[in-house]
Amino acid sequence: MPEITSPPAKKARTLDAFEQLKSMTVVVADTGDVDTIRRLQPEDATTNPTLLLQAVSGALGEALLDRALKAARAASPLEGEALVSDVCDRLAVLVGCDILRAVQGLISTEVDADLSFDTNATLTKARRLMQLYKEAGVDSGRILIKLGSTWESIQACRQLENEGIHCNMTLIFSFAQAVACAEAGATLISPFVGRILDWYKKAEGRDFTAEEDPGVISVRRIYSYYKQNGHETVVMGASFRSTGEILALAGCDKLTIGPKFLDELKQQYTFVERRLDPEVARSSGEVERLAEGPLDEKQFRWHHNEDAMATEKLAEGLRGFAKDLVKLKHLVRARIATSKA
């Protein structure tokens, strides 16, 4: 009688770090390049003036600018800087629409950084961007309006959220910013992990492990505070300097990650431990408070001012986004001039 043998056991498929991370955290692509987004297949995506500048500087840049310019001229007889601004708005929405075809979730579109200290101007621009998305047939539930987290922008966020326009509050460096954004009802905040690390490395003249990384510690603190206080605002870590930082925040609500690190995570096959968990956070320690009630403007400004890193990095971040917006507008002016020739 022939010997009966069992079929060879199938070798279990090993998950890379990216796949493991996606099982516990929503991964957002920090790029405006649609081909890269299609390849990496994140759930959400985000843009800013820097990423838009990269998009129009690429091989398809002229075509993107021409699409935005054609749409602007067809819609209204604007000239001069009004036309430049309208083209930039339409360009942001065109890129956003292209990205939305490549992701299942959300796109964040940023309001001009130079409006960050003007609540009313921020509201006008945010509503304009939403109107353009509506004209393009995009469900408003898939759009996040991205604002730099100044006091003025946080007040704009409060009003926009009341109108049903969801906000991504970016350039979060201080705990006071995170608290005020949650109290304003922000849909999502983006703490800038790597930029916080940059400041402390320069200030202290040393390197940090992932566990002692000041940016990682900041996000963990905010995450715990939100869960303990029942805030529904989503925490999305951003601006990373290494995959070690990213994996130290595994389990965070969302993480927005650049293509370089997404590719690196796909090549790592080490076990990814969940580091942030809502149930653990809710039951961990005494609830932290900055004030007896909601933060008012004086309290916000004082607590933010007390954090030298946050004060410097917020100002630097706004200047950086504004600088790239100036470059983008220069490209738009040049294209308008060429189209008239």
Annotated catalytic residue: which of 146, 227, 254, 313?
A: 146
Distances (CA, A) of 275 to 15, 119, 207: 18, 37, 21
User: Tell me: the pLDDT tens digits for 10-23?
Assistant: 444 589 999 999 99
Would you state the pLDDT for residue 283?
86
Model confidence at 9, pLDDT cuts 50, 70, 90, reads: very low
Q: Which two tokens stand for residue 154?
A: 């946080």
Beta bridge partners of residue 254, listed in sequence order: 26, 236
Does the pLDDT of residue 313 top 60, yes or no? yes
Q: What is the DSSP letter of 142?
A: G
Most confident of 21-30, 244-253, 282-291: 244-253
Model confidence at 110, pLDDT cuts 50, 70, 90, reads: very high
Q: What is the average pLDDT across 301-312?
A: 98
Q: Which two tokens stand for residue 32?
A: 């405006």
CA dihedral 89→91→97→101, nearest 10 degrees, is -160
Q: Buried (b) or exposed (e) across 8-27, using 16+ Cβ within 10 A? A: eeeeeeeebbbebbbeebbb
Q: What is the DSSP letter of 293?
A: S
User: Tell me: the pLDDT tens digits for 211-257?
Assistant: 999 999 999 999 999 999 999 999 999 999 999 999 999 999 999 99
Q: Scan for tokens 């009630």, then name that residue.
A: 293
Does the pLDDT of residue 83 top 90, yes or no? yes
Model confidence at 341, pLDDT cuts 50, 70, 90, reads: low
CB 200 within 8 A of CB 208: yes
Would you state the pLDDT for residue 13?
58
The full length of the chain comes to: 341
Higher-pLDDT residue of 292, 308:
308
Quote the percentage of the chain above a pLDDT of 90: 77
Q: What is the average pLDDT across 117-146?
A: 97
Would you state the pLDDT for residue 6?
42
Of 129, 131, 119, 128, nearest to 52 by C-alpha is: 129
Indicate if 146 belongs to the active site. Answer: yes
Q: Which two tokens stand for residue 320?
A: 């950086």
CATH number given to 17-42+111-285+292-324: 3.20.20.70
- pLDDT, the chain, mean: 91
Would you state the pLDDT for residue 239?
94
The DSSP secondary structure of 168-219, one letter per residue, reads EEEEE-SHHHHHHHHHTT-SEEEEBHHHHHHHHHHHHTS---TTT-HHHHHH
